[in-house]
């Protein structure tokens, strides 16, 4: 469903993506794994038609209306309540406002629907941003480091939400620099370093190929082997 073929992207004299090629299957959780500055967000922005590639081809296989997007900058209206935020986007999407409460219920925020965004914790804001991304029941959902900066308990809640969204039939494309998160959630991962793909495939199979198993599969060891750098 989601694919890139020989995509390149540069800013001024710096090339941030070098002939990136991959394909994500329908209804899977696809992980793009790499350190900050590897080019992960640039790939999401190209696939979501936020920016254009310099060359190559990319596609999500669906219309723009069928895409949900959760970026690091959540873009929430801080003076509005959770429900009011979602109602704004329900109007934009042309869907019934009753869908707003349904989305809040799905992410565990229905009890906080009348709370202003500026009164929410970071984890609650993450869940509200996720509710907005799934409000229109997209077929493809892009998540840019959805658990970045969250405590382990809140991150686990987000993981459960991601798995439930996939169970309802969505294809999920997520970026992360968390090795354990990628192994736990993803059917397929692409390891990206300095704009280049260094490995891709099933995370468990990648670890087997590189003898990176300890007590759990360790994609971090794969990065060290292939790049000589420890990736946090």
Compute the average pLDDT of residues 61-88: 93
Compute the average pLDDT of residues 131-152: 92
Q: At how many degrees (to 10) do helices 122-134 and 82-93 cross?
A: 20
The model carries a pTM of 0.88
Q: Which of 25-34, 115-124, 218-227 shows the lowest mean pLDDT across its residues?
A: 218-227
Contact at 8 Å (CB) between 81 and 30?
no
Q: How confident is the model at residue 11 (pLDDT cuts 50, 70, 90)?
A: very high
Closest CA to 136 of 80, 96, 166, 168: 96
Strand ranges (E), 12-149: 14-24, 29-33, 55-59, 67-70, 140-144
pLDDT at residue 222, as a whole number: 74
* CA dist 130 → 41, 76, 104 (Å): 17, 11, 9
pLDDT at residue 213, as a whole number: 63
Helix (H) or strand (E) holding 180: helix 179-185
Compute the average pLDDT of residues 101-123: 95
Closest CA to 60 of 202, 227, 173: 173
pLDDT of residue 150 exceeding 70, the answer is yes
**What is the chain's mean pLDDT, rounded?**
90
222 three-class SS: helix
């Amino acid at each position: 469903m989601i694919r890139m073929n020989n995509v390149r992207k540069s800013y001024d004299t710096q090339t941030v993506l070098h002939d990136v090629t991959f394909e994500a299957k329908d209804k899977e959780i696809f992980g793009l794994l790499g350190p900050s500055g590897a080019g992960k967000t640039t790939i999401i922005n190209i696939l979501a038609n936020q920016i254009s590639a310099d060359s190559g081809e990319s596609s999500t296989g669906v219309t723009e209306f069928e895409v949900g997007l959760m970026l690091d900058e959540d873009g929430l209206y801080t003076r509005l309540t959770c429900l009011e935020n979602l109602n704004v986007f329900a109007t934009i999407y042309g869907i019934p406002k009753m869908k707003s409460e349904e989305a809040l219920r799905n992410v565990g925020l229905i009890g906080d629907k009348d709370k202003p965004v500026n009164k929410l914790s970071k984890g609650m804001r993450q869940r509200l941003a996720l509710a907005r991304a799934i409000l229109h029941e997209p077929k493809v959902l892009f998540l840019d480091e959805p658990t970045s900066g969250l405590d382990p308990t809140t991150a686990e809640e987000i993981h459960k939400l991601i798995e439930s969204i996939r169970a309802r039939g969505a294809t999920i494309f997520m970026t992360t620099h968390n090795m354990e998160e990628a192994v736990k959630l993803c059917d397929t991962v692409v390891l990206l370093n300095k704009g280049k793909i260094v490995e891709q495939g099933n995370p468990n199979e990648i670890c087997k190929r590189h003898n990176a198993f300890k007590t759990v599969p360790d994609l971090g060891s794969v990065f060290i082997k292939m790049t000589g750098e420890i990736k946090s």
